[in-house]
Structure 1
């Protein structure tokens, strides 16, 4: 995510205003945390928080420019990430900072608007976290009030509904905005097994519609933006250039893994399909094949987690373990460490079900391993 890194550095070094200082100290806190200097990291976190409180005070008074608001959102996101990576030590909860970020965003966002440049970059970053936090909330028990509130809030997207840019694979997310929109809808389609809506005719119709959309989804690599925007047929000016299949690359493999994982999750958790379902087996085989062929590997926690919970044989689990190892080598400060812990716990649960012959509802496995941590995990 070099574009985002450069933007955050530019924001933090822009001037000596509280919004820039908030971003600067948040970056310093993350840096010292990465170095294992936790006291110094906490000191910078405190300074960032104080600066951010000053910005929020000015916001409440109506004295805040758009540039300052953008920096404040960036600082809130950085403090949020600091907490997700420091969840074993800190008494704070990452939702404090993410809820604050969303409040600022809601004040400045104009609905049905397509944003470009720096604002789009920050909005896409927030939307990515917002979608995956919604997934975490769905499987976290007992339900945290802030997470429930976040999950219910409307998701803010940088591109208007019919914009072809929604089909572009973004470096920040590893997939397209359209895929994230579908994932948010898929999480909404997951009901408790005792819920009267579960597998009702309307529920099955929703699942079928989401399946069709996932099957037809095209995600274009970022270097094909012009192809998406200049489709030959004007009738399809708002659709991806379907006649131009994306080339095989690390970027497209990762986006395809997201799509496969979303489809697997839809069938296994929303529809409660068994692991032996032929469609599920075919999707899992494709996902594992992608992981085998991906080099240096996938470093995105969410699709790895979903695919890992479908690995039953030793050979399949070796593929997942290798992908987790390679991902951790690339992102040692990310959330893959937590995901690896949850994957191993899930495999134990799945094996116990298999040995006892009691059968397995994978939603129960999701609920158990996600709720097994001190705070709701982040899959970003």
Structure 2
């Protein structure tokens, strides 16, 4: 995330034009919100909004730098609204929708972006994917929010680019994995929906299973290795991780694999509706818990939520709670705190409802939030 933070600061301090001012005040609004200085936060929010309105009017000039600054400001205001206890549940969607309109104005289909533009596009795609998941399980969703979640996703890399397999530090996984998550969410139907477990539905689930089985997520350093070392990054990592030591590359591989396992578990449990003890589900959960034990902490909210709801018995729940506590110590300002609350609420619902369909538990705990929660 350090690269993204550095880029946002540079964008905010680059000049005194409206896009930079909008980004600067949006960063300040989020910072004061984190410090619980609400009056100052809302003052900067108002200034950011005024500058953003001016910035949007300047995009037609063809200045790509200003366009990406404006996207960044819109995203930051969107994040502000997801944490705003006083605003409308639609406010975040308004800013996110505005951000995507800007992207559509400047993005060229089938083009591969690099550098700062790719960093911004990947950041937006990551949030877009996880908002899609959140909206699917939030029962107070408005038509505008449903439409936003259904919009085509903008990816910084062309569909056949090998760079889609690279693990991004800003997201914890690859662009290809995020694209698969979007497709999986689209396959999660209510159990009384005639599409659920229809032949076409089962065929689509099987196709995504095969893609998840064959998915390679590679650290950027591993991607530059000679062909003779072309095993998957996870296999290389798991083979070498035998002496209790670790490094940044190992951690990146573990997190990416945790995302893949969470996506696979979500596909089988939510889309297909398989029971907890199914022969396909059990080894995925076992592997995910093993990875979490080796990591000790996990600041990635989405896979933590998916995997925690698969914890079997008090011992596994206690272990997950310890990982959550350690993760909050390491990253107190993230979304893990809200996810921890939802996990504990889900465990209560599971205890009350027994081994019923987990889809109802997802819907209940996600819908218990005033606004669609962020799992980013």
Please confirm whether the aligned pair reaches a TM-score higher than 0.5, indicating the same fold.
yes
Gaps of 5+ in 1: 233-239
- Cα distance in 2 for residues equivalent to 1:172 and 1:290: 20
1:88-112 CA-to-partner distances (Å, cap 9, x unmatched) read 2334621121111001001100000
- Find the counterpart in structure 1 of residue 87 from structure 2: 90
* Other structure's SS at 1:247 match: helix
User: Is the counterpart of residue 167 in structure 1 residue 168 in structure 2?
Assistant: no
1:64 and 1:347 mapped to 2: Cα distance? 51
Say whether the 8 Å CA contact 1:169–1:220 is kept in structure 2.
Answer: yes
| CA–CA separation in structure 2 for the residues paired with 1:27 and 1:225 | 34
Contact 1:130 1:155 in 2 (8 A): yes
| SS at 2:155 equivalent | coil
C-alpha distance in 2, partners of 1:83/1:291?
A: 31
Shift, 1:36, TM fit: 2.0
Change (3 A) 1:83 1:330: farther
Selected match of 1:67 from 41, 65, 68 = 65
Please give the alpha-carbon distance, in whole angstroms, between the structure 2 residues aligned to 1:65 and 1:27. 22
User: Alignment partner of 2:224: what SS?
Assistant: helix
SS at match of 1:348: helix
| SS of structure 1 residue aligned to 2:287 | helix
> How far 1:231 sits from its partner (Å)?
4.4
Q: State the partner residue of 1:363.
A: 359
Q: Deviations over 1:347-373 (max 9, x none)?
A: 11100012xxxx411011111111111
Partner of 1:257: 258
Instruction: Indicate conservation of the 8 Å contact 1:133/1:147, yes or no.
Output: no
Residue deviations 1:77-134, cap 9 Å, x none? 1111112233x23346211211110010011000000000000000000000011111
Deviations 1:152-187 (A, max 9, x none): 111010001111111110011100011001111111
SS of 1:278 mapped into structure 2: coil
- 8 Å contact from structure 1 (residues 85, 333) kept in 2: no
Q: Which residue of 2 aligns with 1:378?
A: 374
Query: How many residues were matched structurally?
Result: 363
Please give the alpha-carbon distance, in whole angstroms, between the structure 2 residues aligned to 1:215 and 1:32: 44
Going from structure 1 to structure 2, the CA distance change for 1:84 and 1:43 (only over 3 Å counts) comes to same
Q: Deviations over 1:22-65 (max 9, x none)?
A: 01111111111222212111111111111001112334xx3351
Match of 1:282 in 2: 283
2:133 alignment partner in structure 1: 135
* Cα distance in 1, alignment partners of residues 143 and 232 from structure 2: 46
Q: State whether residues 167 and 218 of structure 1, in contact with CA within 8 Å, keep that contact through their aligned partners in structure 2.
A: yes
TM-align CA RMSD: 1.6
Residue of structure 1 in register with 2:241 after alignment: none
Decide whether aligned partners of structure 1 residues 65 and 190 sit closer, same or farther in structure 2, where only a CA change above 3 A counts. Answer: same
Mapped partners of 1:306, 1:42: distance in 2: 34
Give me the whole-angstrom Cα distance separating, in 1, the residues matched to 2:330 and 2:78: 21
Contact 1:99 1:150 in 2 (8 A): yes
Gaps (5+ residues) in structure 2? 239-249
Matched, 1:247 2:248: no
**Correspondence list, 1:97-136, <5 A:** 97-136=95-134
8 Å CA contact 2:251, 2:295 repeated in 1 = yes
Q: Distance in 2 between matches of 1:34 and 1:246?
A: 39
Structure 1's 91 and 152: CA in aligned 2 closer, same or farther, altered over 3 A? closer
Take 1:54 and 1:243, find their aligned partners in 2: how far apart are those partners?
A: 47
1:1-380 superposed matches below 5 A: 1-59=1-59, 62-86=60-84, 88-91=85-88, 93-227=91-225, 231=227, 241-242=230-231, 245-248=235-238, 249-295=250-296, 297-354=297-354, 359-380=355-376
User: SS of the counterpart of 1:207?
Assistant: helix
Write the distance in 1 (CA, Å) between the matches of 2:41 and 2:145.
26
Q: CA deviation at 1:151?
A: 1.6
